[in-house]
Amino acid sequence: MSASVRAVNQWHRRGLALPCFAVALLLFACGELPTHSPNAPPSESDLTLLKSAKLCDKKDVFLKARQGLPVQRAVWGSGEELRIPPNKSESGSEESLFFDEDGRLVGALFLFPGGRDLRPYPVLRNTLSQLKPTVEFYASLAQLPGRASMDSSALYQTGDEKTTTQYIILGEVHSSTLLLASVSIDPYASLLSPYRKEFLARLARGEKGKGGSSQEARGAVDKEPFLSLQQFARGETAQLALAYCSARNHEIAAAAYSKAIASGFSNKVQLAEAHHKLGLALKAMGQLERARDQIQESLAINAGRPDVLNNLGDVYRELGDKKKALATFERAVTLMPNYPIARFNLAEAYAQDNPKLAVSEYETYLALVEGVPEEKERITRAKKRVAELTGR
């Protein structure tokens, strides 16, 4: 999986206290949520939560197939949440299905107020036993029969190339009780997590809150504006190479990143990345001047990002400004000497006026990407250019 896709699920180290089912969950330890890797984590489960629907389904199709079902509708930021009570849901939980403003199912949350005994599900328990808890804490759940007043709980995260699944369980894995589970396409995973106040509120009161809930929680939580993160996730869904729900749509991505920026971020790094991603969407749409301005704005907020510099160099090159393109690629390589794509771009920039330096950069690039199948096309071009420039 590409670094840009893995970065979508990167979580920062935080301390957090989680309230749950009207009684606080006291934080015991907090770690960094794992990112997906080429060797995907165990994710097998014999507990099917999202049954007759699947991620990316359209809302109108979902509603048509469930006519007569008691579905409660609520605002979810710029999208909509559909709530199904436990006695009517296929999972036997309080189900919340989250649709973005384009009408696609991007996530679902399953809340078990009385807990779901996992002993009948050996496959899921085996999966959980192979995962390292993301967060560990203590829970006081007096309403769960047979449980101690304070019992250990944990959040586990897993998933595949495009989706993230999270489980909050009570007790040891071999005799655990499921309190909450969620599944989402990767860009939305951070919005369906216990780091968001609105989901802390669901756990604390068993309530089905919506984006932007005012529920307070002790400890550090993700305080970025809900709408900003939601629109950023919408942009990632539309633009990233994995094409989560359909083919890439740069127009939707540009609109979403623009809305995220307008909504605002307190985290300057995230604001800079929103400008960067907006610039990439505009570049893909052929709006090069606007793309240049957005990427420059990203660097003004968060200077020294080699990947952003490389993308700015690309825009300069397409604008025909070879001098600025060359200088920008050189700066990217100076900041990250082992950045292969910037090395390739620098070689391309040198090729006409300085063949010797171009050959050196092509050869450095080839050494960096040896055995990387994703670089096959550039590798072929680099070898061809070296042969041409050296007369071999």
In a domain, 256, yes or no: yes
Domain identity same for 249 and 191: no
**Which domain CATH number covers 288?**
1.25.40
Domain identity same for 34 and 163: yes
Structural tokens at position 214: 């005012």
Domain identity same for 44 and 168: yes
| pLDDT tier at 28, thresholds 50, 70, 90 | very low
In whole angstroms, give the CA distance from residue 357 to residue 379. Answer: 17
In whole angstroms, give the CA distance from residue 176 to residue 85. Answer: 23
| pLDDT tier at 32, thresholds 50, 70, 90 | very low
In a domain, 286, yes or no: yes
Which candidate, 107, 65, 102, 72, places its Cα nearest to that of 86?
Answer: 72
Domain final residue, candidates 205, 235, 263: 205
* Beta-ladder partners of 155: 135, 168
In a domain, 27, yes or no: yes
Is residue 129 over pLDDT 50?
yes
Greater pLDDT, 34 or 386: 386
Greater pLDDT, 189 or 1: 189
The rounded mean pLDDT for the chain is 82
The alpha carbon of 243 is separated from its chain's Cα centroid by a whole number of angstroms, namely: 13
In a domain, 308, yes or no: no
Question: According to the model, what pLDDT value does residue 39 have?
Answer: 63
In a domain, 249, yes or no: yes
Which candidate, 240, 235, 135, 142, places its Cα nearest to that of 193?
Answer: 135
Which pTM was predicted? 0.82
In whole angstroms, give the CA distance from residue 253 to residue 378. Answer: 27
Greater pLDDT, 22 or 331: 331
Is residue 4 over pLDDT 50?
no
In whole angstroms, give the CA distance from residue 324 to residue 315. Answer: 10
Q: Domain containing 256: what range? A: 224-303
What residue type is 243 in one-letter code? A
Is residue 98 over pLDDT 90?
yes
| pLDDT tier at 244, thresholds 50, 70, 90 | confident
Q: CB–CB of 112/121 below 8 Å?
A: no
Domain identity same for 80 and 142: yes
| pLDDT tier at 37, thresholds 50, 70, 90 | very low
Question: According to the model, what pLDDT value does residue 110 have?
Answer: 95
Domain identity same for 8 and 122: yes
Domain identity same for 148 and 54: yes
Domain identity same for 90 and 119: yes
What is the number of alpha carbons within 13 Å of residue 245 lying toward its C-beta? 27
* Beta-ladder partners of 84: 95
Domain identity same for 159 and 289: no
In a domain, 110, yes or no: yes
Is residue 146 over pLDDT 90?
no
Domain identity same for 105 and 149: yes
In whole angstroms, give the CA distance from residue 78 to residue 100. Answer: 7
pLDDT (tens digit per residue) in 280-294: 999 999 999 999 999
Structural tokens at position 169: 């369980």
Domain final residue, candidates 303, 336, 365: 303
Domain identity same for 60 and 198: yes
Number of domains present in the structure of the chain: 2
Distance linking the first and last C-alpha atoms of the chain: 35
Domain identity same for 11 and 47: yes
pLDDT (tens digit per residue) in 364-392: 999 999 999 999 999 999 999 999 999 87
Question: According to the model, what pLDDT value does residue 209 have?
Answer: 39
SS3 category, 59: helix
In a domain, 282, yes or no: yes
| DSSP state letters, 141-191 | -TTSTT--SSEEEEEEEEE-SSEEEEEEEES-GGG-EEEEEEEEEGGGGGG
- 160-189 burial string, b = 16+ CB within 10 Å, else e? eebbbbbbbbbbebeebbbbbbbbbbbbbb
Question: According to the model, what pLDDT value does residue 155 have?
Answer: 87
Question: According to the model, what pLDDT value does residue 200 have?
Answer: 62
In a domain, 16, yes or no: yes
Domain final residue, candidates 205, 234, 253: 205
In whole angstroms, give the CA distance from residue 375 to residue 371. Answer: 9
Domain identity same for 151 and 12: yes
